[in-house]
């Protein structure tokens, strides 16, 4: 039986005051309030600024019930210096040590952009990066569909690294929906299906989407499928505009309250 944990990508949004957090809530109280709603969170601030060990230790102490997944810094996925990335990897690895030691590190998310192509240099880099983080739980998200092949999947299986399943608009330039087990951990990220805004100039509008009841039923079936080949399934909603991720995460959790899957709060 797989353990299922559902949460959101990020928790610190001022626009969640009202829809999620009570009016007047201070930013310093967001995390503890979030922990009253869910058992896991995907941290994404770490993409924009390198996390620090003391910072993550403090977050764990503020919300000891939470399982944290954390997005790798952009220097490891988007702005890679192929000659100097190891220094960045060491800094990041040191930062997540408190979470690993406390047993509350769900996964390190390596989210690669569309520009990360399936070419020799990138493949060698990914192999070296996975080796350098071999003692961490890892999940890899590819936005370029060139990576959606058996060689990639076999490689991830050899490292017991999760291939991230996605839900996003099925439009030109986006990868297909594909749920494949490559590790004891399964990882599903739900970005919404806002086709009109996906390639627009307003990156935030991309995630302005509320899944319908019918769409959530379909997603529940995908989660159940992932659970058949994994011991843990992490699901994160990234449609964070106006707290829509929280609403959808709570709805999906209710749909998955079955005897086959253990769910969070």
Q: Is 51 left (phi over 0), alpha (psi -120 to 50) or beta?
A: beta
| 109 or 176, greater pLDDT | 109
| 262 or 105, greater pLDDT | 105
Q: What is the model's pLDDT at position 260?
A: 47
CB 186 within 8 A of CB 232: yes
Q: What is the model's pLDDT at position 197?
A: 76
CB 53 within 8 A of CB 94: yes
Q: In angstroms, rounded to a whole number, what is the distance separating the alpha carbons of residues 118 and 21?
A: 42
DSSP 9: B
Confidence of residue 206 (pLDDT cuts 50, 70, 90): confident
Q: In angstroms, rounded to a whole number, what is the distance separating the alpha carbons of residues 67 and 34?
A: 12
Please give the structure tokens belonging to residue 240: 């964070």
User: Is the residue at 136 inside a domain?
Assistant: yes
Q: What is the model's pLDDT at position 259?
A: 45
Q: In angstroms, rounded to a whole number, what is the distance separating the alpha carbons of residues 144 and 157?
A: 19
User: Is the residue at 262 inside a domain?
Assistant: no
User: Is the residue at 194 inside a domain?
Assistant: yes
Please give the structure tokens belonging to residue 89: 């990897």
Residues 97, 102, 103, 109, CA torsion sign: negative
User: Is the residue at 224 inside a domain?
Assistant: yes
CATH number of the domain within which 87 lies: 3.20.20.410
Coil/strand/helix, residue 114:
coil
- Is residue 229 pLDDT above 70, yes or no? yes
Distance of CA 237 to the CA centre of its chain: 8
User: Is the residue at 125 inside a domain?
Assistant: yes
pLDDT, tens only, 34-92 = 999 999 999 999 999 999 999 999 999 999 999 999 999 999 999 999 999 999 999 99
User: Is the residue at 263 inside a domain?
Assistant: no
The pLDDT > 70 percentage for the chain reads 96
CB 5 within 8 A of CB 37: no
Average pLDDT, the chain: 94
Cα dihedral value 237, 241, 246, 249, nearest 10? -30
Number of domains in the chain: 1
Identify which of 120, 119, 167 has the alpha carbon closest to the alpha carbon of residue 141: 167
CB 228 within 8 A of CB 4: no
Please give the structure tokens belonging to residue 173: 């330039």
User: Is the residue at 232 inside a domain?
Assistant: yes
Expressed as residue numbers, the domain containing 158 is 3-255
| 51 or 257, greater pLDDT | 51
pLDDT, tens only, 7-31 = 999 999 999 999 999 999 999 999 9
Cα dihedral value 106, 8, 148, 2, nearest 10? 50
User: Is the residue at 260 inside a domain?
Assistant: no
């Amino acid at each position: 039986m797989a353990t299922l944990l559902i949460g959101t990508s990020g928790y610190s949004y001022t626009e969640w005051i009202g829809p999620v957090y009570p009016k007047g809530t201070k930013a310093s109280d967001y995390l503890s309030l979030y922990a009253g709603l869910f058992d896991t969170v995907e941290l994404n601030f770490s993409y924009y600024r390198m996390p620090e060990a003391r910072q993550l230790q403090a977050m764990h102490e503020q919300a000891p019930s939470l399982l944290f997944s954390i997005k790798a810094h952009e220097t490891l996925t988007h702005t890679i210096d192929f000659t100097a990335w190891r220094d960045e990897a060491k800094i990041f690895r040191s930062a997540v040590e408190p979470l690993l030691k406390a047993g509350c590190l769900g996964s390190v998310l390596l989210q690669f952009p569309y520009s990360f192509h399936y070419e020799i240099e990138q493949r060698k880099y990914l192999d070296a990066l996975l080796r350098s983080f071999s003692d961490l739980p890892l999940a890899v998200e590819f936005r370029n569909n060139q990576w959606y092949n058996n060689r990639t999947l076999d490689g991830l299986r050899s490292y017991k690294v999760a291939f991230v399943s996605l839900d996003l608009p099925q439009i030109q330039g986006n990868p297909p929906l594909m749920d494949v087990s490559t590790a004891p951990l399964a990882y599903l990220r739900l970005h919404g299906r806002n086709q009109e805004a996906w390639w627009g100039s307003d990156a935030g509008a991309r995630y302005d989407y509320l899944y319908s009841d019918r769409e959530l039923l379909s997603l529940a079936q995908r989660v159940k499928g992932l659970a058949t080949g994994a011991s843990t399934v992490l699901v994160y909603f990234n449609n964070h505009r106006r707290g829509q991720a929280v609403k959808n995460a709570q709805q999906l959790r209710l749909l998955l309250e079955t005897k086959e899957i253990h769910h969070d709060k």
